[in-house]
Structure 1
Amino acid sequence: MRVLYYNWVDYLDAENRGGGVSQYQRNILQELDQGSDIDAVFLSAGISYDLRKRPPRWEQTRHGPRQDRGRRYEIVNSAVLSPAHFSFGSAAQCEDTATEACFYDFLEATGPYDVVHFNNLEGLPARVLKLKARWPQMRLILSLHNYYPFCPQVNLWFQERENCLDFKGGAKCGSCLPQAHNQKQLRLAHALAYRLKAAGFEPNSRMFQLLYQPTIRVGRRLSIGLNAARRSLRKITGTRRQVSSEVASGQNPQRQSAPVTVPTPFAKRRAEMVSLINAHCDQVLAVSDFTAGVARRYGVRSDLLQTSYIGTALADCYQRTTPRRLPIQEQEVLSLGYLGYMRRDKGFFFLLEALKSLPSPLAKRIRLVVAARRGDADTMAELSAVGQHLAGLEYHDGYTHDELPAIFSQIDLGVVPVLWNDNLPQVAIEMHANHIPLLTSDLGGAQELSNCRDMVFAAGDIQAFHDRLQAILSGAVNMETYWAGARVPNSMANHLAQLTEVYTSSDLTRSAETGLG
């Protein structure tokens, strides 16, 4: 069986972009390499560009590690920049004839494929899903690791500050990003990086930084100046044209015409993407029941949706480890662990605020362990202040998977305080697989790992968070019951067996035993 996997960024990307989805793709391909009848090929798009504007083309990946070069390909000059917010508002996210033709040419030249499995649609026009019209025998699978088909910001998170429950017919999308991205400038940045990497300069090398950063800064200044000049010119000429038109037609320039309601481009985008998914996908795999529920609410057909809990390379840890006793005696200190990103949607700043406001007796029973890339000076100062209020602070400036065992050994209780509909964080699965219990918000799929309501608090509710911590420290939460009802982590071998069933069956039934729920 031949399977094409797609994601917007190479799973061996030298800059380690793509987060949990890239890690998941690496895990899949590593498992396939252990012995499988699946011949896997990988494609990415939206990252590499020529310095001069040229038509889209596909090629074998020319940069990054030499590992797996024979199966790694990318589309250069896609009309859809990646990641999604780089092409926010672009009509090409739905349709671009040249990029679609390039994708089809890739399938024709490197195929035939039995399955095309999209782990994302970012970087390609969504109309590539129409490939079923050309190759009806291909199985077309879409995994929902985020909400890109429904939200151009991918995470239903408005203005980097609140969960988006209603996009007001797309009207809110236009003011969602805190700043507008200049797509020409971003394409140029991608192009320069691509040329440097293809020439052998690694992104973390001194030579890359010496060549890349100054050029981008100059380009940004020029772009800002040109855009300001163009806006001023458009404002002047636009006003003249409007007055001239009104005078010529006999209209009163002071009279306002009645507003005409038309569908916003963002409303059309969501409707078209959902329509394409419903019309052409054979299966839509949601990584949690929570994700499936969101997709269903936005119109994805229920008969297409399956919950498929992703596998983890750390699944065997669940068999090798046992639950540790939580330090719940009156004078004992509990180590609370946060791993991931210092981002508002991930609940990092909520966590700092909630811990800073803990009553002193409770605060002195909490030690915080943070593993996340360093934030700005203000963020680090706030983190330090929180640590002084607590019993202690252990900080790790990011982490690799090799470092996880050492970090996990310091943690009694993991916290996943997300403020958005986080599909199912990879780090939550990894902590769970090591028998670290999880305190989670009621948004996203992390709560499904334990299925324990006593360990869930209302997202963004500081008092509810305090109440849960107090209950845990007082011994009111029965941890035997917690682990008795917990979901056994899915191994990569088991997950691959489930995927193979998806790839070969057209009449799937949901089964708790196989992890498709």
Structure 2
Amino acid sequence: MRILFYNWVQYDDPERRGGGIRQYEHNLIDHLARHTGDEVTVLSSGLEHDAVNRQIRIEKTTNSHPGRVRSFSLVNSLVPAPGQHAFGSPWLFDEQRMLPVWHRFLAEQGPFDVIQFDSLEGIPFTFLRVHEQAPEARVVLYAHNYYMLCPQVNLWKRELTHCTDFRQGRDCVSCIPNLANPREVVRAHQLSRVLRAVGVVPGTRSYRRCYQLYGVLRRVRRLGSRLGKATPVASKPSRAGGNGHTTGLNGSGTAPVLMSLRAPSALRAPSALPLGRSAPSVFVKRRIRGLELINREVDLVLATSQRVKEVLGGYGIAAEKIAVAYIGTRAAEAAAQANHRTKLDVPGQLTLAYLGYARPDKGFPFLLETLERCPDEVRSRLRLVVAALGADPLTLRRLVTLAGSMVDVEYCDGYSHDHLPELLRTADVGMVPVQWEDCLPQVAIEMVANGVPIITSHRGGAKELGGSNPAFTFDATSHTELIDIWDRLLNGELQPADYWHTAINPVTMNAHAARLTQLYTSVPEEVRSPSRSA
């Protein structure tokens, strides 16, 4: 089978951008390249910008599977990536400048049996119009996030609350408090291309220093201008903590070191980013036209969980096109041999583990507030292990204060997948208190695969790993319900073993690949895109 995968960042990106979606693609493509005869092609877009040659084009790239995987990058996309950098973009429905480039690529590099969009970030939505050039290809959209519905990506309003109503686009106008300037985003990517061309590669000290110097020069230039309000971007844009599903990598590959927060060190305060605005009608048209394109052009929409299927259907994606395909992970390979937690490691003491990002949408501030509200008799018997990126000084101070009234709080700034067993060695339960409809966070799968039951909010797909067990699920807005679960575990009314009675088996890469093949080849003709015969 000839399969083309699209994502805004290449699956083996050396800067490890793209969060959980990139990690998923990396695992899947590696599996297909090693264990199947499928011919795999990958395309990325939105990050490569050429200051010298402004022509929109698709170039061949190198990758970590030479001879088995073909990889390409679209250069000078009019739609920057990731998605938030294209907030309110006028190019999402382009037909004149980018669509012909895409169709020419399909003609020259195809034919493809399947074209799977793991994201729509970095390209116009019109790229879904595959059948105009390749009528026999199956067009698959895998919903790892909600970018097709929401320009913020996560249905997460003003970095504060779950969004259920965009009020005819009015709430979208000010949804992202700190928007990057698209022109500065492009310039930063142009600089990256120049640096790589002369041998200065990402991750090196020279690379970082060049961007620091770039930021200084930009500030000097703005001070000498009369453009009014400054729009600083001091470093090369990235996913900036990610919007999709991530696993909280520390990126170094070294063992994360947990630090007791009874003796913290200060961190620098975060800097502000610029503002930008679009009219409400832009966001209304975006949603209406986006849904029209999906329902007309896409053969199969994959949901990472039953909850995602419900959300997509609720927003108007044709229910008959949606199928559930839980993502596969490498962590699942060892799940059968994992030592399932069945009782508390230390009787009368409950150790909670939180992994990933210290962000509001992931529920980290909610978790801290719950601990702060917790009765002394419960909190004094809790221990917290945190391995998360993005904790600002205020968050660390809160953790330090909590450490004084708990058994302990241990913290490290992110983690590597290889060190999960050690990080989770003493954990009784994992915490997944997501506040948005998180499709299926890989960190939840990883904890379950390592034998750690998880307590989840009612939002998103993570609860399905435990069979939506109500004893381990709380309302995302209720601190009281979460405290009650902790209390029941401490008092023995609830045991970690109770989680496994309803839990599902994490999906291996082999099982996931088989599920995809089944879905690719079994799309009923009456469900497939009507544009194929247009």
- Report the equivalent of 1:426: 442
- The 3 A distance-change label for structure 1 pair 223 and 181 is farther
User: Residue 90 of structure 1 aligns to which amino acid in structure 2?
Assistant: S
1:212 aligns with 2:229: no
**Does the Cα contact within 8 Å between 2:341 and 2:497 map onto a contact in 1?**
no
**Does the Cα contact within 8 Å between 1:454 and 1:468 map onto a contact in 2?**
yes
- Report the equivalent of 1:256: none
SS at match of 1:381: helix
More helix per residue: 1 or 2?
A: 1
- The 3 A distance-change label for structure 1 pair 205 and 230 is closer
TM-superposed CA distance for 1:67, in Å, is: 6.1
User: Matched residues in 2 for 1:20 and 1:356: separation?
Assistant: 30
TM-superposed CA distance for 1:328, in Å, is: 8.2
TM-superposed CA distance for 1:189, in Å, is: 0.8
Runs of 4+ in 1 over 3 A off after TM superposition: 64-70, 220-231, 478-481
1:134-145 residue pairs with structure 2 within 5 A?
A: 134-145=133-144
1:471 aligns with 2:488: yes
1:354 aligns with 2:370: yes
- Report the equivalent of 2:432: 416
**Does the Cα contact within 8 Å between 2:172 and 2:280 map onto a contact in 1?**
no
User: Residue 288 of structure 1 aligns to which amino acid in structure 2?
Assistant: S
Q: Name which one, 1 or 2, has greater alpha-carbon Rg.
A: 1
User: Matched residues in 1 for 2:208 and 2:499: separation?
Assistant: 49
TM-superposed CA distance for 1:506, in Å, is: 2.2
TM-superposed CA distance for 1:374, in Å, is: 4.9
1:7 aligns with 2:23: no
User: Matched residues in 2 for 1:25 and 1:213: separation?
Assistant: 31
- The 3 A distance-change label for structure 1 pair 204 and 67 is farther
1:495-514 residue pairs with structure 2 within 5 A?
A: 495-507=512-524
Aligned residue-pair number: 477
**Does the Cα contact within 8 Å between 1:129 and 1:276 map onto a contact in 2?**
yes
User: Matched residues in 1 for 2:351 and 2:191: separation?
Assistant: 44
- Report the equivalent of 1:188: 187
**Does the Cα contact within 8 Å between 1:290 and 1:445 map onto a contact in 2?**
yes
User: Residue 444 of structure 1 aligns to which amino acid in structure 2?
Assistant: G
User: Residue 429 of structure 1 aligns to which amino acid in structure 2?
Assistant: I
SS at match of 2:492: coil
- Out of 334, 338, 360, the position equivalent to 1:321 is 338
User: Residue 56 of structure 1 aligns to which amino acid in structure 2?
Assistant: I
User: Residue 135 of structure 2 aligns to which amino acid in structure 1?
Assistant: P
- Out of 289, 294, 302, the position equivalent to 1:277 is 294
- Out of 382, 389, 397, the position equivalent to 1:381 is 397
Which stretch has the larger CA shift, 93-102 or 30-39? Answer: 93-102
SS at match of 2:100: helix
TM-superposed CA distance for 1:508, in Å, is: 9.7
**Does the Cα contact within 8 Å between 2:437 and 2:459 map onto a contact in 1?**
yes
Which stretch has the larger CA shift, 431-440 or 145-154? Answer: 431-440
SS at match of 2:91: helix
TM-superposed CA distance for 1:95, in Å, is: 2.2
- Out of 304, 320, 329, the position equivalent to 1:287 is 304
Query: How does the TM-score come out when normalised to structure 1?
Result: 0.88
1:448 aligns with 2:464: yes
- Report the equivalent of 1:130: 129
User: Matched residues in 1 for 2:368 and 2:441: separation?
Assistant: 20
Which stretch has the larger CA shift, 18-27 or 466-475? Answer: 466-475
User: Residue 503 of structure 2 aligns to which amino acid in structure 1?
Assistant: A
User: Residue 6 of structure 1 aligns to which amino acid in structure 2?
Assistant: Y
1:480-503 CA-partner distances (Å, limit 9, x unpaired): 442121111111101101111122
- The 3 A distance-change label for structure 1 pair 506 and 374 is closer
User: Matched residues in 1 for 2:225 and 2:163: separation?
Assistant: 34
1:333-390 CA-partner distances (Å, limit 9, x unpaired): 2210000001111111111111122222211211101111252222222222222221
1:301 aligns with 2:300: no
**Does the Cα contact within 8 Å between 2:359 and 2:390 map onto a contact in 1?**
no
User: Matched residues in 2 for 1:308 and 1:507: separation?
Assistant: 17
1:36-47 residue pairs with structure 2 within 5 A?
A: 36-47=36-47
Which stretch has the larger CA shift, 438-447 or 192-201? Answer: 192-201
TM-superposed CA distance for 1:12, in Å, is: 1.1
- Report the equivalent of 1:245: none
SS at match of 2:431: strand
TM-superposed CA distance for 1:478, in Å, is: 4.9
User: Matched residues in 2 for 1:57 and 1:277: separation?
Assistant: 25
User: Residue 326 of structure 2 aligns to which amino acid in structure 1?
Assistant: Y
1:308-328 CA-partner distances (Å, limit 9, x unpaired): 111111112221023223228
1:264-319 CA-partner distances (Å, limit 9, x unpaired): 11010011111101001110000011111111111000000011111111112221
- Report the equivalent of 2:147: 148
- Report the equivalent of 2:48: 48
TM-superposed CA distance for 1:223, in Å, is: 5.5
Query: How does the TM-score come out when normalised to structure 2?
Result: 0.85
Identity of aligned residues (%): 39
User: Matched residues in 2 for 1:223 and 1:298: separation?
Assistant: 43
- Report the equivalent of 1:166: 165
- Out of 385, 403, 423, the position equivalent to 2:419 is 403
**Does the Cα contact within 8 Å between 2:435 and 2:457 map onto a contact in 1?**
yes
User: Matched residues in 2 for 1:407 and 1:29: separation?
Assistant: 28
TM-superposed CA distance for 1:65, in Å, is: 6.1
**Does the Cα contact within 8 Å between 1:185 and 1:219 map onto a contact in 2?**
no
SS at match of 1:449: helix
- Report the equivalent of 1:437: 453
- Report the equivalent of 1:81: 80
User: Matched residues in 2 for 1:376 and 1:286: separation?
Assistant: 33
- Report the equivalent of 1:365: 381
User: Matched residues in 2 for 1:346 and 1:68: separation?
Assistant: 39
User: Matched residues in 2 for 1:31 and 1:479: separation?
Assistant: 33
Bigger RCO (CA 8 Å, 6+ sep): 2
SS at match of 2:129: helix
**Does the Cα contact within 8 Å between 2:329 and 2:508 map onto a contact in 1?**
yes
- Report the equivalent of 2:502: 485
**Does the Cα contact within 8 Å between 2:429 and 2:496 map onto a contact in 1?**
no
